[in-house]
């Protein structure tokens, strides 16, 4: 049963929190990229998280449908079926659902889980992210409060975000965000805890500390991981050591390893990886096209080579290369060799 139950998911997060490691959360858009994530986790002996964004779900549903919830469901159902063949645990998560898409993405997926639970099946997704960072904190938490109630009723973990992750990813563009909004304040973290903790259940917080989506040259992103330490201290100072929160590192692609490792000391148990895995998936496809250019096009009397233009010829290479990047992420986050699956 490698797609986790709520109980096993909690054990994963708790083990990471106290073991000072984190799980790579890999964004996927297709069965090929989902398979690459699973292979990468298995090769590393690491449990992990596969996640689908609104744009990823829309793409997976096909150009005719463009239905973000439908696409997310199809990817999740694929993972539920194939993950049984792997010797690691995996959780399914949704990424960056902004307020205007909650009713067309997160809530239909919560309903799908509720329907499965009513028939004796496990949760479709184990956690969901609501990204209300574009709103003032009180409005952000008002929506999060309502979603948390729905999640608790179905043993789903809710991830929320305060502060803004800069850059652009999957249609969510914060490229012009003022610098001060890239850093979550201790007061924000206390506010999140005091809003969501009384509802029971478990939540994760994507607190921002200068992180940026996208790809940048080394040294261009100025992270301040101690923001997380200060926020945790504010929460635990007011509510006790048990109030320390599960934190999420967004915009992880291209980050310095020293910064990544420092965040693990402050409660990061999940780091999103998307830009780097997209790049690793695409590079073998590019190389295949260049190397076989003369055999990929019908030219006069000479026909193209079917073995070269068969999508499997290059998608296998793409899966293998992306899987290698997922394995590297596990090693960077120190989750390799730590699967709870026996």
Distance CA 333, CA 327 (A): 10
Q: Which residues on adjacent β-strands are paired with residue 50?
A: 26, 92
Q: Which residues on adjacent β-strands are paired with residue 272?
A: 25
Task: Retrieve residue 99's tokens.
Answer: 């307020």
Task: Retrieve residue 141's tokens.
Answer: 């938490």
Q: Is 276 part of the annotated catalytic residue set?
A: no
Distance CA 119, CA 101 (A): 27
Mapping DSSP to helix (H, G, I), strand (E, B) and coil, where does residue 25 land? strand
Catalytic residue among 95, 276, 332, 336: 95
C-alpha torsion angle, residues 201, 206, 207, 212 (rounded to 10) = 180
**Residues 271, 22 contacting (CB under 8 angstroms):** yes
**Residues 52, 96 contacting (CB under 8 angstroms):** no
**Residues 39, 16 contacting (CB under 8 angstroms):** no
52's CB contacts (< 8 A; 6+ apart) are: 27, 28, 29, 60, 71, 72, 75, 76, 92, 93, 94, 95
Catalytic positions:
95
């Amino acid at each position: 049963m490698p797609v986790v139950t709520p109980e096993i998911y909690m054990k994963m997060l708790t083990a990471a929190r106290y073991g000072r490691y984190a799980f790579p959360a890999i964004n996927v858009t297709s069965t090929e990229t989902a398979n690459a994530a699973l292979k990468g986790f298995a090769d590393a002996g690491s449990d992990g998280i596969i996640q689908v964004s609104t744009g990823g779900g829309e793409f997976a549903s096909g150009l005719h449908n463009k239905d973000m919830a439908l696409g997310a469901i199809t990817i999740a159902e694929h993972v539920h079926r194939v993950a049984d063949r792997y010797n690691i645990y995996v959780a399914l998560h949704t990424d960056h659902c902004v307020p205007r898409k909650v009713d067309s993405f997160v809530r239909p997926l919560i309903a799908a889980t509720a329907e499965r639970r009513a028939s004796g099946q496990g949760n479709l997704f184990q956690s969901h992210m609501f990204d209300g960072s574009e709103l003032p904190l009180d409005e952000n938490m008002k929506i999060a409060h309502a979603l948390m109630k729905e999640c608790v009723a179905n043993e789903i973990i809710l991830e929320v975000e305060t502060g803004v992750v800069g850059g652009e990813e999957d249609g969510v563009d914060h490229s012009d965000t003022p610098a001060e909004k890239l850093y979550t304040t201790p007061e924000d973290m206390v506010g999140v805890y005091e809003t969501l903790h009384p509802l029971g259940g478990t939540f994760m917080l994507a607190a921002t500390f200068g992180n940026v989506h996208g790809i940048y040259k080394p040294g261009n992103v100025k992270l301040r991981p101690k923001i997380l330490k200060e926020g945790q201290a504010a929460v635990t100072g007011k509510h006790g050591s048990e109030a320390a929160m599960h934190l999420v590192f967004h915009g992880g692609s291209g980050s310095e390893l020293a910064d990544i490792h420092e965040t693990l000391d402050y409660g990061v148990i999940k780091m999103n990886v998307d830009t780097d895995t997209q790049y690793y998936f695409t590079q073998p496809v590019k190389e295949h096209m260049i190397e076989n250019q003369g055999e990929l096009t019908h030219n006069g009397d000479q026909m193209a080579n079917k073995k070269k233009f068969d999508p499997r010829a290059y998608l296998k290479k793409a899966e293998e290369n992306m899987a290698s990047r997922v394995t590297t992420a596990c090693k960077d986050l120190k989750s390799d060799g730590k699967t709870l699956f026996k």
